Each structure stands twice: as structure tokens, then as C-alpha cells.
Amino acid sequence: MGQYYKVVNLDKKEYLHPHKFDDGMKLLEFGCSREGTMTGLSILLAEGNGRGGGDLHSDNPIIGSWARDRIAVVGDYADNENGLENNMFSISESWEDISLKVFNAMLDDVYMKESYRRRRENRYE
């Protein structure tokens, strides 16, 4: 089977779910994808978007909203949190999944939208 992961923001109590980016949940399944979870994380961590070439063409307020926060990639096989019966993967299930908000911001950019479309086409050929 293997271990499943997601990206969590410990300060805002939000997370990214790899399946919402059309990625697998194993570390290398989403860690190596294009137009996926790691791109979404980059969007959330970006400070100063829109000030230079190569930035995401969107003014969505979610861009940079995780900058300077405590972020972790947590697995379902991780140790339980100190004094608790669950690990961070389980604890974060009650937090807000912002994956689709980030995904939509990513697709505001024409280049990203086209690149994602090509990725989907190639996947099913």
C-alpha cells in the first residue's frame, strides 16, 4: 500500500489534498508532478506575485496566503502528536481543505490552464 501524505498549514489549520490536484497521495506521486500539489504550495507561499516575469497571472488573494506560516507534509503513518490519540494527518481532517481554491487560482493563468489541459490529455492517451 504505502503511506499517504498531504500538505498542512499548522498556523491557519488548512490543508492541500493531492487528489484535488489530480495527483496521487504518496510522497513522490505529488512531489514530482507538474501543475499539481507542489505548484499549489508554491502559489500559497509566494510573496510578491505579479511583480516580475514568470509570476502567476492572477490577483487571487489566496496567492501568498501561507507565506511565513508553519507548513508540514504529514503522513498517515506518522507518530501520534504528544499526548494525543491521533497523528497530524488525522487531526487535520477537521481543518479546511483549500485545494480547490488554490487550484482555481492556478487555472486563472492561461499558461497554467493550457499546461494542465495537456497533462490531462497525455495521461489518458
For the chain, the domains span 5-123
Q: Is the pLDDT of residue 122 over 90?
A: no
Q: Is the pLDDT of residue 1 over 80?
A: no
Of 9-18, 31-40, 108-117, which one has max mean pLDDT?
A: 9-18
For the stretch 57-90, pLDDT in tens is 999 999 999 999 999 999 999 999 888 899 999 9
For all residues of the chain together, what is the average pLDDT?
Answer: 93
Task: Check: CB of residue 15 under 8 Å from CB of residue 30.
Answer: no
Per-residue pLDDT at 68? 98
Q: What's the pTM?
A: 0.90
Strand order in the sheet with 96-97: 71-75, 5-9, 14-16, 96-97
